[in-house]
Amino acid sequence: MKNNQILIINGATRVNGNKDIILKRLTTTALGTNVQIKQIDVRKKKIQDCIGCYHCTENTACSIKDDMIQVYRK
């Protein structure tokens, strides 16, 4: 059987808000299935805004070294 994966990127700023409640129910429901869920809470990451330098168009990575690198890997 194929291993299915879901990546959730939670951009909600309020802890234990509606989105957190919904995502918790989703992950709890998925426990009994063959679906593997990984969640990234953006509010816990240090991510800077794009500065428009276009470094990424000529290279394979962004010029800003922040937590977004971890998000790209997932």
State the total domains in the chain. 1
**C-beta separation of 49 from 36 below 8 A:** no
Between residues 53 and 72, which one has the greater pLDDT?
Answer: 53
Question: Residue 57's domain spans which residues?
Answer: 4-73
| pLDDT confidence bin for 64, thresholds 50/70/90 | very high
Q: Are 33 and 2 in contact (CB under 8 A)?
A: no
60 or 64: whose pLDDT is higher? Answer: 64
The Cα–Cα gap between 6 and 9 comes to 10
Q: How many residues are listed for the chain in this entry?
A: 74
Task: Give the per-residue pLDDT at 48.
Answer: 95
For 18-51, the pLDDT digits (tens) are 999 999 998 888 888 888 889 999 999 999 999 9
